[in-house]
Structure 1
Amino acid sequence: MELELRHLKVVSTIAAAGSITKAAAELGVAQPALTAQLGRIERTLGGSLFDRDHRGVRATALGELVIARAGLLLPAMSGLLEEANRFSDGLRDPGRRMERLSLGSSTSALLAPLIQRLSTQYPAMTVATTASWSADDVAAMLGDRRIDAAVVGVCAGSRPPGGSDLVWRTFAIDPVFVLLPEDHALAGRTEVTLADFSGSEWAATPGDGCFRDCFAAACASEGFTPSSLFVTDAASCMELVASGTAVALCQAVRVLRGFVTVPLVGAPLTWRHMVGWRPDSAAAEFGDRLTACVGEAHQDLVERSTVYSTWLRDHSTFGVQPGHRTG
């Protein structure tokens, strides 16, 4: 792992908070995920940064050195980013500047962290959002110029939605997990198979493309035919799972109180996340920055999920994609 500025922010936050639990709350991540991240940072730096006991954490000699350097680097980098943004904005044609971004999404879980990222990094920009369960509908809005850019998810075997006149970039590929109530007999497993639920009813939120066919094929490869797949909204899926009526297929980043997500052995079902725009639009000039923000927002969700972030350690081809592949 290479040391990044965000890692220095983690160390500084832990030092200021005085405990990993308080720092996790401030950073909006799960405490086990933050502990694991600190461990990776310490391995990269070659030693412990904090001594820990029941009263909290106390910086080691190495920790004090890192904290001191972070105190210089973080403000300097923040200033550099602000100056670079102002400089780059000054070079752009004012008539093409993204003062307002209209964004459509079929991935509701991603909207909140994405809006937070855009508001922080581009405070002068006005962001308007619209949501639909259908990636095809969002792509149609994009093609009709009703929105400037789109963030959608499709089954990994599907083509990008809309026509060939749209530009799409894949920013993340996630496995599909199983959603179970906390008291389910298999809730404590680190992995399950589809065949473990061969006698169950199934539920999933709506999606375009080949997901239903891919699900049926994955079940067939494990020797059974699913009796049903109830396609419904997220709230109804949760109700079906909570009542024991069905087992739900869900995004790996989902964290829901009273439920657990469990990975499927071999990741037989995968979901591709993409950001898109029209090549002749003002959003095309903003495309690289928007793609970076979307990837960061997705990573925020990953780090909040202890199950997914742990699973990713052994499945490095998933999650946010290096270079955000054109898709």
Structure 2
Amino acid sequence: MELELRHLRTVRAIAEAGSLTRAATALGLAQPALSAQLKRIERTLGGPLFERHRHGVRATALGELVLERTRILLPAVTDLQQEATRFARTRAHDPQQCRRLRLGGTHGPLLGALVDRLAQTTPGTEVTTRTSWSERELADLLTDGRLDYALTGTCGSAPPPGPDQLTWRKIAVDPVCVMLADSHPLATAPHIGLADLAREEWACVPGDSCFGDCFTTACARTGFTPRRLYETDTASCVHLARVGRAVGLCRATFPPTPGITVRPLAGTPLTWRHLLGWHPAAQHPDTAAHVLAQARAAHPELATSRP
């Protein structure tokens, strides 16, 4: 019998489970079938890999050697599979053949502005978009080769989402602002302190970053706990603010909206760092530089509407 990757996965599963019974359950096998398979693997490798005792199994010296190699080989094979998938799904290795860009993004107008600029600067390229509330999902799509670029962000100096092999570049940093009904008593103030809003309810769009925790911490520093935080879509946030039900949290790029006044928070207690991410193995450096430049040019065009 020749040793295969599935045999190494079986050995790893037995070691992680600590017993043949638990490993068989995890692998979806009957225990006799797993025991027979282990014996065949041990014959191939030249000796027993595990010692049996009444509480389960323990790796032998040979077993430890095999497990050590397995910890290197299996992740390497997984990386190879992911890289091959990315290569097959993209043509970015040949910039002359790059005629499609798949963009992802969270909420906000920056994605639309980037699509518009790419349509103007690269008219022969087909641009498709995908949105998600989850920064982590967008990072996973980049890792799997199902997106070329992702527009997302982080709160303050928090690390970007996803594995280390992704490349992230800063587009701009926005102060987090508040949106109020035009009739709100503080709507005419040039800036508003968080403490002045201590009795309000709040609204923001959902996400899986640390923004909610950072907001709660900023409120605590000024001496209060938010009464309620509605996490909902942008249109609902605007509605709740317009009718006076809540104060909305937004960025400097939030577009002018009838019935809504946007004001900065005094002292800028919260910031949002806009990021563009991609996988360097899947994108040509010239293409990445162009997309990043267009994203950085799009941001001030949006932000100029908010002096």
TM range (shorter): 0.5 to 0.7
What's the counterpart of residue 237 of structure 1? 237
What's the counterpart of residue 270 of structure 2? 269
For 1:273-312, what aligned pairs fall within 5 Å after superposition?
273-303=274-304, 305=305, 308=306, 310=307
For 1:90-169, what aligned pairs fall within 5 Å after superposition?
94=94, 97-169=97-169
What's the counterpart of residue 215 of structure 2? 215
- Opposite residue 137 of structure 1, the aligned amino acid is E
Q: What secondary structure is seen at the aligned counterpart in 2 of 1:286?
A: helix
Q: Distance in 2 between matches of 1:215 and 1:165?
A: 29
What's the counterpart of residue 249 of structure 1? 249
Q: Distance in 2 between matches of 1:145 and 1:236?
A: 33
Alignment deviations for residues 83-116 of structure 1 (CA, whole Å, 9 cap, x no partner): xxxxxxxxx9756542111111114311221111
Is contact 1:148-1:283 (8 Å) kept?
no
Q: Distance in 2 between matches of 1:146 and 1:113?
A: 21
What's the counterpart of residue 258 of structure 1? 259
- Opposite residue 258 of structure 2, the aligned amino acid is R
How many Å apart are 1:238 and its aligned residue?
1.2
Is contact 1:97-1:282 (8 Å) kept?
no
- Opposite residue 144 of structure 2, the aligned amino acid is D
Q: What secondary structure is seen at the aligned counterpart in 2 of 1:223?
A: coil
How many Å apart are 1:212 and its aligned residue?
1.2
Q: Distance in 2 between matches of 1:175 and 1:93?
A: 37
Q: Distance in 1 between matches of 2:139 and 2:192?
A: 34
Alignment deviations for residues 161-210 of structure 1 (CA, whole Å, 9 cap, x no partner): 11011000011100100000111111111100111110111111112221
- TM-score, L = length of structure 1: 0.63
Greater than 2 Å deviation, 4+ residue runs? 92-98, 282-285
Is contact 2:93-2:284 (8 Å) kept?
no
The percent of aligned pairs where both chains have the same amino acid is 42
Return 5+ residue gaps in structure 1 as ranges: 1-91, 311-327
Structure 1 residues 122 and 138: alpha-carbon distance in aligned structure 2, compared to 1, 3 A threshold: same
Is contact 1:154-1:271 (8 Å) kept?
yes
Q: Distance in 1 between matches of 2:232 and 2:98?
A: 36
- Opposite residue 183 of structure 1, the aligned amino acid is S
Structure 1 residues 138 and 246: alpha-carbon distance in aligned structure 2, compared to 1, 3 A threshold: same
Matched length = 215
Structure 1 residues 93 and 157: alpha-carbon distance in aligned structure 2, compared to 1, 3 A threshold: closer
- TM-score, L = length of structure 2: 0.67
Structure 1 residues 292 and 95: alpha-carbon distance in aligned structure 2, compared to 1, 3 A threshold: closer
Is contact 1:205-1:237 (8 Å) kept?
yes
How many Å apart are 1:294 and its aligned residue?
0.3
Q: What secondary structure is seen at the aligned counterpart in 1 of 2:176?
A: strand
Structure 1 residues 95 and 113: alpha-carbon distance in aligned structure 2, compared to 1, 3 A threshold: closer
Is contact 2:181-2:187 (8 Å) kept?
yes
What's the counterpart of residue 19 of structure 1? none
Q: Report whether the alignment pairs 1:178 with 2:178.
A: yes
Q: Distance in 2 between matches of 1:171 and 1:104?
A: 15
Alignment deviations for residues 20-67 of structure 1 (CA, whole Å, 9 cap, x no partner): xxxxxxxxxxxxxxxxxxxxxxxxxxxxxxxxxxxxxxxxxxxxxxxx
Q: Distance in 1 between matches of 2:235 and 2:93?
A: 45
Alignment RMSD (CA, Å): 1.6
From the CA coordinates, give the structure whose radius of gyration is larger: 2
For 1:1-40, what aligned pairs fall within 5 Å after superposition?
none
What's the counterpart of residue 191 of structure 2? 191
Return 5+ residue gaps in structure 2 as ranges: 1-91
Is contact 1:181-1:258 (8 Å) kept?
yes
